[in-house]
């Protein structure tokens, strides 16, 4: 089985325009709140880097790395924290930055975990969402695009760690060779 890039579903220009829109909304909503943007490694790095540079308000960045127990396709919903935040988030306005919400299990766990640390607020900003794959309901205040239930890569999203550096998002198709 080999893989190859298929149809581009989000072009670089579309992504850039949407990131600018989201940044404008976040800048308005968080004026005077100095949000702490929490990037969930690794996929969201690219989105966060572009988003934060469009913000017109002061903000801080922090990073978390998590891994789910079990295989990616059969997630148990139990998430292990591989790298925790540097910052104490008590009283802070936290905005979790994700590249994609699939089953929703990662975010559901993360949000619960961060809420237990007594922040002023916890919201989610995800570039992509695949609602058809949802296992748990997750309120996401800022969403870039809804994508169909296909394997997508690029702009941070990988297949075996490859394709993250693409400036666009495309479907990965499998071919029997």
Contact set with ligand PRP (CB under 6 A): 40-43, 75, 98-106, 158
C-alpha torsion angle, residues 105, 131, 135, 48 (rounded to 10): 0
Quick check: 169 and 18 in contact, CB under 8 A? no
C-alpha closest to that of 93 among 128, 126, 117: 117
Q: Identify the residue whose tokens are 């579309």.
A: 14
C-alpha closest to that of 6 among 173, 163, 161: 173
Would you please indicate which residues are annotated as catalytic (active-site) residues?
A: 102
């Amino acid at each position: 089985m080999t893989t190859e890039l298929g149809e581009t579903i989000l072009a670089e220009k579309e992504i850039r325009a949407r990131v600018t829109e989201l940044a404008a909304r976040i800048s308005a909503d968080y004026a005077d709140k100095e949000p702490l943007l929490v990037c969930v490694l690794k996929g969201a790095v690219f989105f966060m880097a572009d988003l934060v540079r469009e913000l017109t308000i002061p903000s801080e960045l922090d990073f978390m790395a998590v891994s789910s127990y079990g295989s990616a396709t059969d997630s148990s919903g139990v998430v292990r924290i591989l790298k925790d935040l540097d910052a104490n988030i008590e009283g802070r306005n936290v905005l979790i930055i994700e590249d994609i919400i699939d089953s929703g299990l990662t975010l559901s766990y993360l949000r619960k975990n961060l809420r237990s640390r007594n922040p002023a607020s916890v919201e989610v900003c995800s570039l992509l969402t695949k609602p058809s794959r949802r296992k748990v309901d997750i309120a996401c205040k800022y969403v870039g695009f809804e994508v169909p239930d296909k394997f997508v890569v690029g702009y941070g999203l990988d297949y075996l760690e490859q394709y993250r550096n693409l400036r666009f998002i495309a479907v990965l198709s499998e071919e029997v060779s």
